[in-house]
Amino acid sequence: MSEQTIFAKIIRKEIPAAIVYENERILAFKDIAPQAPTHILVIPKKALADVAAAKEDDAALLGELLLSAAHIAKEQGLTDYRIVINNGAEAGQTVFHLHLHLLGGRPMRWPPG
């Protein structure tokens, strides 16, 4: 059975999203509930639930996720930004398809909540 998360449906173009970047392995689109002026989700097209589900074979894909985020940040005119990955419900993960949050356009505080 195909993956049923909301992000899998976005990858399959079954539901719309404001896509800002796409290649064969990666998709990036605007978050529907932005937490900063720029809030983009960068996801692998491969069905990985979270970072913990990644294997050795996924090393290049994980690297490409980060490089894609840096590329998109530059395209969006961001020099300072935050990249977040929530792994697991207690860490704030609500969609169980691996995704990286790219947040920018406002000052950030530390530590995060």
Binding mask 46-85 for ligand 5GP (x = CB under 6 A): ----------------------------------------
Q: Which helix (H) or strand (E) holds 66?
A: helix 59-75
Asked if 19 interacts with ligand 5GP (CB under 6 A), we say no
Per CB under 6 A, the list member of 63, 80, 92, 108 interacting with ligand 5GP is: 92
Per CB under 6 A, the list member of 94, 109, 110, 113 interacting with ligand 5GP is: 94
- Measured CA angle at 47 (ends 89, 53), to 5 deg: 55
- Measured CA angle at 66 (ends 35, 29), to 5 deg: 45
Residue type at 75 in one-letter notation: E
* CB-CB contact of 100 with 65 (8 Å): yes
Nearest to 65 by CA among 81, 78, 84: 84
Asked if 31 interacts with ligand 5GP (CB under 6 A), we say yes
- Comparing CB distances to ligand 5GP, the nearer of 57 and 110 is 110
Whether 101 is a known active-site residue: answer no
> Tokens in use for 87?
């792994």
- Which residues are tagged catalytic? 99
Residues making contact with ligand 5GP (CB under 6 A):
6, 17, 29-33, 41, 86, 92-95
